[in-house]
Amino acid sequence: MRYAASLTTILVLLWLGISGVYKPLILGLGVASIALVVWISRRMDVVGVEHNPALYSWRLPLYWGWLLWQIIVANLQVAACALQPSRLRPSVVRVPVPHKTAVGKVTYANSVTLTPGTVTLLLNPGEMTVHALHPASREDLESGAMAQRILWLEAGRSDSGADA
Amino acid sequence: MAELLDVLSGILLLAGGAFAIIGGIGLVRFPDFYTRLHAGGITDTLTALLIVGGLVLQSGFSLLTVKLLLILLFLLFTTPTATHALARAAMADGLEPEGDADRAAERRDGAESSNT
């Protein structure tokens, strides 16, 4: 029930943010469609611990801010490579994945792919295989800074959640 | 004030365009499939950030801003999935990346014993 409530809140905010037309008929249609989506989601059993973004609390925006900065820095490195391809030193590395929850693992793998210069090839239990474009991006990854940030993000969950 | 915002958003939009072109150059110049994925990553991330940032400065603080930020949010959530799907498809097809794990380890050991 708690998950249905937070899903409803998020959908209401999304609808109000996108619509911009606040007439009774349109609002009524919005309420009806949100109710339908929540009902279908509950029937499909996809409303649960893992799918609830509200669990990440205040730590998520901080992580996004840090990730944004990493993306900008990594982009400049890849752009330099594009202009001077002799800098390329592609390699494949395995890095440990210390996270317990499925959401933590997916966040890590997705963040690595999102950062230019590193692409996740395979995610196995306990480790993942990553393609790195040049030594700097590989060292960033092997330093484990991003994994630490996501551990911190995981620790901030208000509910420990189901294991993967 | 309005002029300052116009100039600032113009700079962001131009920088976004410049990085899109650099991403395109990388896409053509990089040697194999996996390295080209990284070049595509520039247009996925920094270009999208800069262009949406420039457009947000144009739209001011309104519902339009919310929509623009939602576009950015969905882009940043979906592009890694697409990139990963491409990489997985290439791996499933047996395409070997240049510089495999063993050679990378050798290179790293070599680099540590020398200067970098």
Count of the separate structural domains present in chain B: 1
A62/B contact by beta carbon, under 8 A: no
Residues of A with CB below 8 A from B87's CB?
119-121, 131
Q: Which domain holds residue B93?
A: 2-113
| Cβ–Cβ below 8 Å for A93 and B104 | yes
Q: Residues near B83 by Cβ (< 8 Å), separated by ≥ 6?
A: A113, A119, B37, B40, B41, B44
**How far from chain centre, in Å, is Cα A77?**
23
Tokens of A35: 């109710």
A-B Cβ pairs (cutoff 8 Å, strict): 128
Relative to beta strand A127-132, strand A118-124 is antiparallel
| Cβ–Cβ below 8 Å for B99 and A18 | no
d(CA A78, CA A150): 24
Tokens of A55: 């669990």
Residues of B near A (Cβ–Cβ under 8 Å) read 19, 22-23, 25-26, 29-32, 34-35, 37-39, 41-42, 44-46, 49, 63, 66-67, 70, 76-77, 79-81, 83-84, 87-88, 91, 97-101, 103-104, 107-108, 111, 116
User: For the complex shown, is ipTM > 0.90?
Assistant: no
| Cβ–Cβ below 8 Å for B76 and A138 | no
d(CA A118, CA A130): 6
Tokens 């991330």 belong to: B45
A114/B contact by beta carbon, under 8 A: yes
Q: Catalogue the long-range contacts made by B71-79 (C-beta closer than 8 Å, 24 or more residues apart).
A: B72/B48, B75/B44, B75/B48, B76/A114, B76/B45, B76/B48, B77/A110, B79/A114, B79/B41, B79/B44, B79/B45
Return the number of other C-beta atoms located less than 10 Å from residue B56's C-beta: 19
| Cβ–Cβ below 8 Å for A119 and B87 | yes
**pLDDT tens over chain A, length 164 residues:** 777 888 888 889 888 888 888 889 999 999 999 999 989 988 887 766 555 555 556 788 888 889 888 888 888 888 888 888 887 888 888 888 888 888 788 888 888 888 888 888 888 888 888 888 888 888 888 888 888 888 888 777 644 444 33
